Amino acid sequence: MATKPDILVIIPIRPAQMQMLQDSYTLHRYDQAEDRDAFLTEVGDKIRGVVTMGISPFTEDMLDHLPRLEIVALGSVGYDTIDVEACNARGIPVTNTPDVLTNDVADLAMALTFDSFRGYSRGERYVRQGRWRDEGSMAPTTSVTGKTMGIVGLGRIGKAIARRAEAFEMKVAYHGRREQSEMPYAFFDTPAALAAESDVVVLACPGGDETRGLVNREVLDGLGADGHLVNISRGSVVNEPELLKALQNNRIAGAALDVFDNEPKINEAFFTLDNVVLQPHVGSATQETRGAMAQLVVDNLAAHFSGKPLLTPV
Ligand code: 8YV
């Protein structure tokens, strides 16, 4: 019997799919190692595949420890922490999990938009704290109908958000690397110009160096005192100290965030603000979608090790 290929698990996938990996490969649990550097040095020579996600660094230095590596299979759509260029330069393909998470992430973007405008989370706190009983009705909030949503990054997820926004009778505009003239939405060539025209800016672009700090003071001031920011992309896209200042001084109306700098130990200044909605990075976190994402990891590895074309190479 042929020996099972050795796989390094940097971030595990769902239990059912981990079991499938266990059946077909010899797994080396970097995620459970006490001394990770020593572990990498110890097992690196035999590793042929890596399982990880685009929220954990995978660097050229790690590649140097993996001379027989053939494939990196990500359990995420994002790959901003993965040195894809260095992998590809060594002929190592990287796979990710597009499409299967699009609807869930777009749903969260809409839910956050509604929450920021209509104050659902705030309302929930208002009821639980007995304030409805003691103080009477909560102050009216802001309607979503007819407002303009500016989407940064009109990729698969951005387009799914746009379709939902249209169904809620919002106007849609966007900023991205290039204009997509086939799309029926207004294009703005800078995020600040988009923000100035938008009631809510929704971030749906990839993270990484290209978009780092893209939402800066100028963009926040473009949104203005009635504007909202929704982020379902990566914390790195926002200059977080500037966002905090804008929220603290009510220079924007509100923000609804699924992603942050330094997750999960996020800046606790957010905890004290009433004009921000906070979620623990759950855009794709449904049973269905996380299962489908994990299955793509299994299927991409199976395709690779049986000499078939990869399903979803980056
Ligand atoms: C998950 C994500 O948080 O796919 C991504 O890029 O950010 C999310 O779907 C990720 O898979 C880690 O759990």
- pLDDT tens per residue, range 144-203: 999 999 999 999 999 999 999 999 999 999 999 999 999 999 999 999 999 999 999 999
Tell me the pTM.
0.96
Q: Are residues 142 and 249 in the same domain?
A: yes
Q: In terms of domains, do 75 and 195 share one?
A: no
66 and 178, same domain (yes or no): no
User: Do 140 and 182 share a domain, yes or no?
Assistant: yes
Residue ranges in the chain whose pLDDT is less than 70:
1
Same domain, 217 and 154: yes
Indicate which residue of 29, 90, 131, 281 is catalytic.
Answer: 281
Whether 234 is a known active-site residue: answer yes
Strands 148-152 and 94-95: unpaired
Q: Ligand 1 within 6 A of 232 CB?
A: no
Asked whether residue 27 is domain-assigned, the answer is yes
Cα angle vertex 253, ends 111, 107, to 5°? 10
Judgement on whether residues 58 and 201 belong to the same structural domain of the protein: no
Tokens 């979503």 belong to 144
Distance CA 265, CA 277 (A): 16
Q: Is the residue at 191 inside a domain? A: yes
Rounded Cα distance between 207 and 212, Å, is 7
CB distance 53 to ligand 1 below 6 Å: yes
Apex 236 CA angle, 300 and 161, nearest 5: 65
Q: Which of 228, 234, 290, 304 is catalytic?
A: 234
Ligand 1 atom 5, closest CA? 76
* Structural domain boundaries, residue 116: 102-278
Check if 281 is active-site. yes
- pLDDT at position 288 is 98
Q: Are residues 246 and 222 in the same domain?
A: yes
Closest CA to ligand 1's atom 9: 284
Pocket flag, ligand 1, residue 75 (CB < 6 Å): yes
> pLDDT tens digit string along 54-73?
999 999 999 999 999 999 99
Q: Do 49 and 160 lie in a common domain? A: no
CATH number of the domain encompassing residue 50: 3.40.50.720
- What atom in ligand 1 is closest to the CA of residue 234? 7
pLDDT for residue 2: 75
Ligand 1 binding pocket includes 54 (Cβ within 6 Å): yes
Q: Note whether residue 255 is domain-resident.
A: yes
| CB-based burial label for 30 (10 Å; 0-12, 13-18, 19+) | buried
How many domains is the chain built from?
A: 2
The pLDDT value given to residue 65: 98
Confirm if 9 and 26 have CB atoms less than 8 A apart: no
Q: Quick one: 166 and 232 in the same domain?
A: yes
Ligand 1 pocket test, candidate residues 31, 77, 295, most atoms within 8 A of CB: 77
Residue 49 included in any domain = yes
How far is the C-alpha of 25 from the C-alpha of 236, rounded, in Å?
A: 35
Residues 270 and 298 in one domain: no
* Alpha-carbon distances, residue 104 vs 1, 109, 147, 292 (angstroms): 42, 9, 22, 12
Ligand 1, atom 13, residue with closest C-alpha: 76
222 plus 149 within the same structural domain: yes
Name the pairing type of β-strands 148-152 and 228-231: unpaired
How crowded is residue 58: how many other Cβ atoms within 10 Å of its Cβ?
A: 24
Confidence (pLDDT) at 1: 62
